[in-house]
Chains A and B, each alone.
Chain A
């Protein structure tokens, strides 16, 4: 229960919550902390912060303070790879990445959680690459004092599938590249694909174990895949031959190599003719020629998820559609732009 008292009568009482000071463009933070005993010297500053009354808190048995609530919420939201300190500031707790990796949000559980009136949690987008210590989410209770039950209900919703938030470390894959195309194989043009793909692989902490060049011949493509697998590669990436021309036989080669769960076509531009398939548990990614021209393509959306252990199937490629259109900006600002930010 909250009791309102006039500021002048508050001298000697303890503050019920942090009091925030905002100086536009300069400072935002706690001017006074919860528990601070109000003294005469504080009155002028509190008045300048617009406080003419303060709350005294007398908690009923079934009520909790916003700081307690924030701790319960943070505990329920935080899954594997998420760290947080039980030190609410202005009633809010930040959740950070405990390690480098791919930030994962159960957006359904988050929506259900936020539908509880008394709570909120804001996060980065699902599937954002984050560094250790980076803020990924923040949570707080909305009222200063509330019943305990809605907070526990929100916590239960957050835990429905384990937890709402997590950071998955990327595995270090041993990648086998297959660069297809008669024009490259016969030396008519210089290959540009292998360096582009290799950089994307190494930037994510994996290594390229071998690069095979093949003509547009399904049997030779199949053989190249087989050789990579025999050497112990656990991720195969193929470039070229993914389009609709008669010479585009890469898909045939992938199927011949024994791939199952082949999903050709993604709801992303650039990258519509992308292919994701599996031989056993090993993913095969077919990268269309757009990967040569565009700095960022569907591969940049999918590869981190593959390395985080996610299975990429039809639904995953289809659900990229919303937000899957690159604006082709003159100066690319990915990952700070809307590309790949599905709801």
Chain B
């Protein structure tokens, strides 16, 4: 693992700014990895051993993800919407897991650890670098039972919503009277008043298939030929 200063620099660049939450996140990740005996979590041989549960969607979360390399789409990052400045680091190989919680008292102690700096933000930024892990965090050894359907890897199960026909992966369907429903159909979704639309620019795609390229070529050719005949016959279209 790179040293703290380099990790903080790259984390802040990836996140968009340097803030006290970045310092806490980088240190939380360094401590978490140390606790589960992973010294290079982003290296290929270690990347698949690690799962991190992040309990907040704040600056700290980005720093933890940056340092550990965990990603939502790889299923190595689990977002638990608890609103708690904490993350749990799980070593899948050994089963060891530690929950690292950022202490609230660290905020009050910032003025003691960086008395020469005025301004809450700047003082916290400096103080969080100076506090020992024992002051900045509280650590619990925990057990994490990870369900088979939460593990990284290919989709293991699909169900189809009996109401709207949506395919639902990894057992995220809701059973009602023994029948599968997608969440939006089964319960209140985060959106409402859904109404399907279509727009002309939705025909755009970044790449085209061989067949559509050929059809485009034919269209162009026919159009050029038509123009050439028109010129020969001295026929012009006059726009009104």
Contacts and interface: CB of A to CB of B under 8 A. Distances in A.
B116 A112 contact: no
A319 interface: yes
A108 B132 contact: no
Interface in A150-165: 153, 156-157, 160
Nearest to A155: B134
Given A112-B131, A160-B135, A315-B116, 5 more contacts: A111-B112, A153-B138, A156-B132, A157-B135, A319-B115
Contacts of A319: 115
A157 B109 CA distance: 13
B132 A157 contact: yes
Given A315-B116, A319-B115, A156 B109 contact: no
A332 interface: no
Contacts of A153: 134, 138
28 contacts: A107-B112, A108-B109, A108-B112, A108-B113, A111-B109, A111-B112, A112-B105, A112-B109, A112-B112, A112-B131, A112-B135, A115-B103, A115-B105, A115-B108, A115-B109, A115-B135, A153-B134, A153-B138, A156-B132, A156-B134, A157-B132, A157-B134, A157-B135, A160-B132, A160-B134, A160-B135, A315-B116, A319-B115
Interface of B: 103, 105, 108-109, 112-113, 115-116, 131-132, 134-135, 138
Contacts of B115: 319
A212 B138 CA distance: 60
Interface of A is mostly: helix
A58 B132 CA distance: 34
Contacts of A315: 116
A267 to B, nearest CB: 13
Contacts of B105: 112, 115
Nearest to A107: B112
A108 B112 CA distance: 5
A115 B113 CA distance: 13
Nearest to A318: B116
B114 to A, nearest CB: 9
Contacts of A108: 109, 112-113
- Which of B108, B109, B134, B138 has the most chain A CB atoms closer than 10 A to its own CB? B134
